[in-house]
Amino acid sequence: MGGDFAPKNEILGAKLAYNAFGNKGVSIYLYGDADKIQQIANQNNVDTSIFTIVNTTDTIKMSDDPTEILKTKKNSPLYKGISDLANHQIDAFVSAGNTGATLTTSTVLLGRIPGVSRPTIASFFPTTKSRPTLLIDVGATIDHKSRFLYEFALMGSIYYSIAYKIEKPSIALLNIGEEDSKGTDAIKEAYSMLKKSDLNFIGNVEGRDILHGTVDVVVCDGYVGNVILKFAESFGSMLKTKLKQIASTSFINKIKVGLSVPALKGLFKELDYQEYGGVPVLGVNGISIVGHGKSSPIAIMNMIKKAVELREYQLISKIESIIKQNTLKN
């Protein structure tokens, strides 16, 4: 019920996911106002018998304080769903609602994986190479501590290896220069810690390296990561606007832009957040995925697909294992 177009896009996305995964034993639960869900489903010719509907009466707004939700909205889809995840009644939870609320509720109800100081969220960025770059953290933790950056690298490595079936993805710290002497004390200390780890750590990279695909996983604090994420989200729409402006200047330019459309479609697809679905809250003891507030049905389906994959490849136990192994060394 929390996305900008809820519950319509959630219902349609869940239907797409059921068509893709229902025959593989995947059951989909819809948490929210049962009457509203049924009404929207009827309007869009969706048979709700393929889902399990869990009725909830509280609603969460994007403006709600995450900590207050834990006290006052225990019958909301977010609280009820993550509570059921904590009690092993479901295997994963996805939401296109309030990111801060999802992060806070997941951390409190699911608890942290042993050894994790702060849970984190990450986002994939398209690159000039054949696979994307994972930027971690993108807004969960703005504190700038070396231990946090070190753990983000560990969790990002596991997540990337699952997502792209790569045993040892390359890891780097985002910095103002490649030299190990650059950056804040926290970054320099994290650099030293990562050099001692078993990760495929290549050192520091700069902002330009993210889209060039120089490295698989780029680690930074959440303040910097969120600024980069929000900036990147505007790039696709800006490019489309500029192309329309160019096309409107002359008939020749309109033809030129029109001829480039087939090639541009592939580019815009890579820039589209829908293709990547949501992002998991890494470090909590359960698979909790948060997506963009404007998530389309396709994005919702991809969020559910990601949840299925992360459970299948045992994300939680793998993070627990890598944290334990590397804690002993540092």
The domain that contains 75 carries what CATH number? Answer: 3.40.718.10
With a cut of 80, say whether residue 233 has pLDDT above it: no
Q: What is the pLDDT of residue 257?
A: 78
Average pLDDT of span 195-218: 94
With a cut of 70, say whether residue 150 has pLDDT above it: yes
Q: Which long-range contacts (CB under 8 A, 24 or more apart) does 32-41 make?
A: 32/1, 32/6, 32/7, 32/56, 32/77, 33/1, 33/7, 33/57, 33/59, 36/1, 36/7, 37/7, 37/11, 40/7, 40/8, 40/11, 41/11
For residue 284, the enclosing domain spans: 8-327
Q: Is residue 227 part of a domain?
A: yes
Q: What is the pLDDT of residue 66?
A: 79
With a cut of 90, say whether residue 232 has pLDDT above it: no
Q: What is the pLDDT of residue 275?
A: 59
- pLDDT single digits (tens) 51-78: 999 999 998 877 778 788 888 889 999 9
Q: What is the overall mean pLDDT for the chain?
A: 89
- pLDDT single digits (tens) 74-122: 999 999 999 999 999 999 999 998 888 899 999 999 999 999 999 999 9
CA dihedral angle for residue 61, residue 65, residue 71, residue 74, rounded to 10 degrees = 20
- How sure is the predictor about 276, in pLDDT bands with cuts at 50, 70 and 90? low
With a cut of 80, say whether residue 277 has pLDDT above it: no
Name the more confident of 238 and 10. 10
**Side chain identity at 190, as an amino acid letter?**
A
Q: Is residue 1 part of a domain?
A: no
- How sure is the predictor about 266, in pLDDT bands with cuts at 50, 70 and 90? low
Question: Which residue, 222, 213, 217, 226, is CA-closest to 194?
Answer: 217
Find the radius of gyration of the CA atoms of the chain.
21
Q: Which two tokens stand for residue 80?
A: 């009820």
- pLDDT single digits (tens) 279-322: 899 999 999 999 888 888 999 999 999 999 999 999 999 999 99
Q: Tokens 């750590």 correspond to what residue?
A: 201
Task: Please state, in angstroms and as integers, the Cα–Cα distance from residue 207 to each residue in 175, 227, 259, following that order.
Answer: 8, 12, 32
Q: How many domains does the chain have?
A: 1
Q: What is the pLDDT of residue 91?
A: 96
Q: Is residue 147 part of a domain?
A: yes
Q: Is residue 316 part of a domain?
A: yes
Geometric angle at alpha carbon 121, from 10 and 164, rounded to 5°: 85
The residues near 70 (Cβ < 8 Å, ≥ 6 apart) are 79, 104, 105, 108
- Helices (runs of H) and strands (runs of E) counted in the chain: 12, 10
- Percentage of the chain with pLDDT > 90? 60
Q: What is the C-alpha to C-alpha distance for residues 191 and 17, in angstroms, rounded to an integer?
A: 41
Q: What is the pLDDT of residue 130?
A: 85
Q: Is residue 102 part of a domain?
A: yes
> Cβ(274)–Cβ(263) under 8 Å?
no
> Cβ(308)–Cβ(16) under 8 Å?
no
With a cut of 70, say whether residue 273 has pLDDT above it: no
Question: Which residue, 55, 62, 190, is CA-closest to 136?
Answer: 190
Q: What is the pLDDT of residue 48?
A: 94
Q: What is the C-alpha to C-alpha distance for residues 4 and 245, in angstroms, rounded to an integer?
A: 28
- How sure is the predictor about 272, in pLDDT bands with cuts at 50, 70 and 90? low
Average pLDDT of span 139-165: 91
**Side chain identity at 50, as an amino acid letter?**
I
- pLDDT single digits (tens) 13-47: 999 999 998 788 899 999 999 999 999 999 999 99
With a cut of 70, say whether residue 330 has pLDDT above it: no
Q: What is the C-alpha to C-alpha distance for residues 306 and 276, in angstroms, rounded to an integer?
A: 9
Q: Is residue 298 part of a domain?
A: yes
